[in-house]
Amino acid sequence: MILKDGTASMGRRIWLLLLLRACARAGLRPVSKLRLHRLIFLSNCLAPVYGETPLDEKVIKYKWGPYYPEAQWDIDRMAIQGLVALTDVEVSKDKRNGWWLHANYELLAKGRELCEEVIEVMLLEKVFEFLSELAHGYATLDDAVLDNVALKDATYNAPAVAEWAPIDFSEIKNNYSALTASAFGDLLPIQVSPNAREQVQLYLRYLARVAKKNFVNN
Amino acid sequence: MVAPQIPLIRFPAFKSFQVDNYQLFPGKNGEGISHEFEPGVTVIAGVNGLGKTTLLNLMFRMLVGPRDPKKSGMLQFGARAHELVSWKNSIFFTSRVGDGAANATMSAVIAFGNEEIRIKRNISNLEIIELWRAGKELDPNEKQYTAAVLDASGIADDYDFDFVVRQLVFFLEERIPIVWSEQNQAELFRVLLCESKVAAELSGLFDEIKDIDSQYRNLRWHLNKRKDELAQYHGSSAEPATLDELKAKIQAQESLAAKATDYEKEIDRVKRKRSKMQIDIQQQKLELEEKIRAHQGFQQVYLSSRFPELPDVARYVFSNLLADSGCLVCGNRKTDTAIRFRRLLDQGNCPVCESPPEEQETRPTRGRANAQEVKKSAQEIQAQKRDLASLESELGKLEAGLLELYGTQSRTQSSFFQLTTDVNLLRAKLTPGEGAAEVESYITSMEKELNNYEAQLAEKRRKYEKQLKVLRRQAEQYASRIKRHFESYAGSFLAEKCTISFTNFNSFVGQEGPSFEYPCFQVLMTSAVSPKRPTVRMKVTDVSESQKELIDLAFRMALISTIATRGQGAMLVLETPEASLDSIFVIEAGKLLRKFAESTQGCHNRLIASSNLTNEKMIPALLGLVPDGTPKTKPAEVRRRVINLLKLATPNAAYVKNKKKYDKMLESATDGALD
């Protein structure tokens, strides 16, 4: 069990490091805690578009949006280990949602070096390519709706799912995000059938449009 | 994508109901019972044995006639065909009276939205003797009635109409659950949310698949028998030792095949349990995180004021330690330094070198987060950590067990394959005896037939899945509305926070083949041990008796309110709603029922509830005679809203003996409004 937990944790830490590296390259730096968790979620549900296995295929519908306690521990550990910079720690509390500990994260030089190493040694080029495309697509969206995009995701925002209810997308038929992203191909002529990168980009733009619509209506 | 058509279902609602010449209900001066139902609540008041249940059953039979679903086990969604058969208990009404209900009749005007059907039935055999639709007289028979009802209600077929009346509109003593039965939910979604053509196709295909599946399994059994027979023919010319060995191996092979199926089922069960446990753990971790965050919040504020120059990272490390969240420096998640840290900080000492305040360069400022609050949240964290640890240990055991099961399954499979090879080798050694060719040809034709069934099943299943997609899409479209209505009803009577969450479940059609995915809701509710995080209540036993019924009632109302939103109105009939309620819930339940019946969206819902005088609060609560912030119902209206069986039914011994007492109880329950 220890080994298994350890392995899971290492896998998650590598995924997080690569995600932060991808964010930095897309100009998203530092990344707030809230945004980081939402990006982790998007990476989980869109991974199948690239044929990758996500870190986690279950998430709990939560008032702060998708949130992964284990990933939070890992990112904080890496901050102490000098791989990630932890800055702007602030405490806030609001009536509806209670306490929130804000922090920003950014990859440090040691973390960057580790990323290069694991990509090469562990053959993670494809994972990194996926995370880079995701971060890149995300970074091009309108700032005003950037943090709401994940909340409008087809899986997370499936109708009538109550807070604290589990959302399980381990079976592809329940991963509405990946299914929607793939469905863009059905709308276009066969000659311009979108590849995985384009599917993710189109999907993110679609989410941004939905988020914007809500933003304007509110 | 073309949006699926939204069906227009109109629920049946009594505008009037009349019973004549039935000895159980002689009425005043032998006039029987005649009642006009107004939108809102109507109460059938009585005591045990006066005929409340019989009157409700008359109403029920008026709508569905003398038929019942083929399999009466209504909770067994997968075990019945969508078919109605003759009512078995046809002496239900005749046995209650001395004259066999020879001249007894019942008449009603039933509204379906703006449409009306007028019907009169003999009570003895439920035969229709008069039938009118929209002022036009029709041939008085069940076929005409069914056609009129289906057309007026927009429901696909007679089985579905019966299902809606039986399962949704009437909530009689058996209390057939809806929200607590995924299958019943799915069936109702099919009937209510799908266009009638799709609804009919789904039920038709369901029955066909079950039927073919049954024939297929039957034929396969016979085929296997024939194969055994063939081995006998072959064996007639073989060495007895070889034949015995072959028989033994075939037997072992069969037993292993049965074991393999059992292992598969067990693995599936454990995997489902594991998945639920994993979700529990995930939820608990999130809840723990929330508690830690609150604790860290308190501590961060304090640490910032106490050590203003402390860098973010250090503060983060300290607040994690203080909140029992683990040591970020070494990665140990089970540190027990929190108490020591808290003590040091309480004394104003440095948390790192333990120096007292007077020896520190920066003099500490006094004041910290509310000590009680901090202590309480620390205790909560500890308790949650214990729960989580025990859950994780359970999960560990479950995973170890699963691993073992996989091992056993794999060994069983290897043995099975080995035996199959042995059997084939032994069979090859045998030479055919007399009569083998005939059996062989029979087997070949049976195999062809079996293949034919397989092809049919595959085709039907494909079509079924296609229509199920429509059902799922329709349910998705309505899910938010159903949830909103449910929360509104449930919120008005439950102290705990209760909601429903849209999800799906898998079920088989027939005994074999792929499982299908159906839409459903699951109930989530907070509790004393989990006051903030609502937990999933999968089974009816996960809630109290009162909660079970009220939640189901709220779900029915939510469904009806969602479907009947176009000013059509609906009816809900309840038998003694107070029967399984704690007295504390009675007033709340009354409020809930009135809320539904007085729905203001132009729906004009009707709610008919029978109630026993022995519960003193239910009738006043239903009639709006208890102080609940709304104006008290006027006496004239109370009179219009009560069917008083003390006056209309034949008095039984209990009533005769306690007449004064019961009359007084009714007078008190209705604020003296009745004559």
SS3 call for B612: strand
| Mean pLDDT of the region B662-669 | 90
Q: How far is B169 from chain A, CA to nearest CA, in Å?
A: 24
pLDDT class of A137 with cuts at 50, 70, 90: very high
Is B296 in contact with A87 (Cβ distance < 8 A)? no
Is A103 in contact with B316 (Cβ distance < 8 A)? yes
Is B289 in contact with A173 (Cβ distance < 8 A)? no
Annotate B65-114 with DSSP letters as a single string: -SEEESS--TT-GGG--S-EEE-S-TTTTGGGSTTTTTT-EEEEEEEETT
pLDDT digits 0-9 by tens, A31-83:
999 999 999 999 999 999 999 999 999 999 999 999 999 999 999 999 999 99
- C-beta separation of A99 from B297 below 8 A: yes
Comparing B247 with B121, the larger pLDDT belongs to: B121
Residues 152-211 of chain A with CB under 8 A from chain B are: 158-166, 168, 173-174
Q: Which amino acid is at B552?
A: D
Cβ atoms within 10 Å of B329's Cβ, excluding its own: 14
State the Cα torsion A203-A206-A208-A210 to the nearest 10°.
Answer: -140
pLDDT mean across residues, chain B: 86
pLDDT value at position B496? 84
| Mean pLDDT of the region B125-133 | 96
Sort strands B606-612 and B40-46 into parallel, antiparallel or unpaired.
parallel
**Residues of B with CB below 8 A from A88's CB?**
312
Cβ atoms within 10 Å of B392's Cβ, excluding its own: 16
Test mutation, A75, A91, A92, A176, chain B, max B CBs within 10 A: A91
pLDDT class of B467 with cuts at 50, 70, 90: very high
Residues 32-61 of chain A with CB under 8 A from chain B are: 58-61
Euclidean distance between CA atoms B77 and B507, whole angstroms = 10
The partner residue sitting opposite B290, judged by closest CB among A87, A98, A162, is A98
Is B328 in contact with A168 (Cβ distance < 8 A)? no
SS3 call for B33: strand
Q: Name the nearest CA neighbour of B124 among B84, B97, B148.
A: B97
pLDDT digits 0-9 by tens, B599-632:
655 557 899 999 988 777 889 988 988 877 777 8
State the Cα torsion B455-B459-B462-B466 to the nearest 10°.
Answer: 180
pLDDT digits 0-9 by tens, B285-318:
999 988 888 888 877 777 777 777 778 888 888 8
Cβ atoms within 10 Å of B420's Cβ, excluding its own: 14
Q: Which structure tokens are listed for B630?
A: 């709304």
Nearest CA in chain A to B314: A80
**Residues of A with CB below 8 A from B480's CB?**
159-160
- pLDDT higher than threshold 80 for residue B370: no
What share of chain B in percent tops pLDDT 90? 43
ipTM (interface pTM): 0.82
Give the distance from CA B138 to its chain's centroid: 39
Peptide bond between residue A30 and the one before it cis (omega within 30 degrees of 0): yes
Euclidean distance between CA atoms A104 and A20, whole angstroms = 11
The partner residue sitting opposite B289, judged by closest CB among A69, A163, A174, is A69
pLDDT digits 0-9 by tens, A86-129:
999 888 888 888 888 899 999 999 999 999 999 988 888 999 99
In sequence order, what are the residues at sequence separation of 6 or more whose Cβ sits closer than 8 angstroms to the Cβ of residue B579? B173, B612
**Residues of A with CB below 8 A from B300's CB?**
89, 91, 101
Q: Which structure tokens are listed for B506?
A: 């898998």
pLDDT digits 0-9 by tens, B149-203:
999 999 989 999 999 999 999 998 877 889 999 999 999 999 999 988 899 999 9
Nearest CA in chain A to B300: A91
Comparing B598 with B477, the larger pLDDT belongs to: B477
Q: How far is A106 from chain B, CA to nearest CA, in Å?
A: 13
Q: Name the nearest CA neighbour of B624 among B646, B602, B595.
A: B595
Comparing B372 with B135, the larger pLDDT belongs to: B135
Euclidean distance between CA atoms B642 and A117, whole angstroms = 82
pLDDT class of B80 with cuts at 50, 70, 90: low
- pLDDT higher than threshold 80 for residue B230: no
Per mean pLDDT, which range of A86-90, B143-147, B539-543 is the poorest?
B539-543
